[in-house]
Amino acid sequence: MTPEKLKQLIIETMDEVYKMSGRDKYDLKKKGYTDRQDAWLRRQMGLQYEKEVQRDITNLRQYNQTNNSTPQGQEMIKAFQNASGVTIAHGLGYISYAESDLGGEGDENRKSLKKWIDSYGSLNKNQLSTVAWTGSPEDLPSEFASYGNHEAITGGTGFLLKGYPVLVSHSSVSSQTLSSLPKELVDHQSESGIAKRGSFEQPIYSLDQMKYSNFRPGWAAEVILDNWSIIGCFITEELLNKSRENGTIASLVDDVDATGLPCHIFSKSGYVGKL
């Protein structure tokens, strides 16, 4: 796919608007998420009012138009697409707010690296929420465990990726949790891929802005990634130690080996090494 065609596809996906059904609106009212201050909760559930969706679409379009038209934006896009100068991680052990507090459903496939690949590895048109840091995997900030969405790493296992950065942000953007979306919304976007949108409180427009920020330097607490591919996996030292204690180390290593991917070991204090 040419870069121009990819950009057009992503723009078209951004414009997908799902209109809530009567049942959707009833569910929102029943859960008490109808106030103005609940907009971020509605986004995570995938049940937004049309004006909210249109506002998110406008923000995303403007953000991507800016990044695609400036040298620093183009440099950042290229870095994410090639995983060069930046590391992107999607954690399987991370439990979103939509799952933990909003009654969303979890996903059993996240308990195994190989099962996740088998189930979702070819669905790269569905956008993923990831975290990212400048540099290589070895450059994981030693203070990251105090940063936003650090659970994507400390949750235990996950993947390293490359892809198109639809939105890069210093803070969480409260994007949709795919496993918690209503079936009607998933069906609505089945052809184009499930689009994620987010808030624009602290957007990042360049690698330098990401690297030299006074707020969590080198860290992006959420990156919405499209057209992604898996280039590696990771496990944490804490999970390895726990699996040794409870006698499941062999199955954990087998799961990693079954992916055929290079595997990095992280800990709460930073990078450890390779498995």
Give the pLDDT of residue 74. Answer: 96
- How crowded is residue 38: how many other Cβ atoms within 10 Å of its Cβ? 14
Mean pLDDT, residues 146-160 taken together: 88
Specify the higher pLDDT residue, 54 or 272. Answer: 272
Give the pLDDT of residue 262. Answer: 97
User: Burial letters for 157-172: b for 16+ Cβ neighbours within 10 Å, e otherwise?
Assistant: bbbbbbbbbbbbbbbb
- How crowded is residue 252: how many other Cβ atoms within 10 Å of its Cβ? 20
Query: Between helices 3-14 and 50-69, what is the axis angle to 10°?
Result: 160
Distances (CA, A) of 8 to 64, 78, 89, 136: 11, 16, 25, 30
Query: Between helices 249-259 and 113-120, what is the axis angle to 10°?
Result: 30
Q: How confident is the model at residue 40 (pLDDT cuts 50, 70, 90)?
A: low
Specify the higher pLDDT residue, 200 or 94. Answer: 200
Q: How confident is the model at residue 109 (pLDDT cuts 50, 70, 90)?
A: low
Amino acid identity, residue 118? D
% pLDDT > 70, the chain: 72
> In the predicted model, is pLDDT for residue 18 greater than 90?
no
Mean pLDDT, residues 116-138 taken together: 88
Give the pLDDT of residue 175. Answer: 64
Long-range contacts of 122-126 (CB under 8 A, 24+ apart): 123/193, 124/163, 124/226, 124/227, 124/228, 124/229, 125/13, 125/192, 125/193, 125/226, 125/227, 126/178, 126/193, 126/194
What is the chain's mean pLDDT, rounded?
Answer: 79
Mean pLDDT, residues 190-214 taken together: 76
Task: Judge if pTM exceeds 0.95.
Answer: no
> In the predicted model, is pLDDT for residue 155 greater than 80?
yes
> In the predicted model, is pLDDT for residue 215 greater than 80?
yes
Residues paired with residue 120 on neighbouring β-strands, in sequence order: none
Token digits of residue 183: 């079936």
Residues in the chain: 275
Instruction: Kindly give, in sequence order, each residue whose CB lies less than 8 Å from that of residue 86, ignoring residues fewer than 6 positions away.
Output: 76, 79, 80, 132, 133, 134, 135, 207, 210
Specify the higher pLDDT residue, 51 or 207. Answer: 207
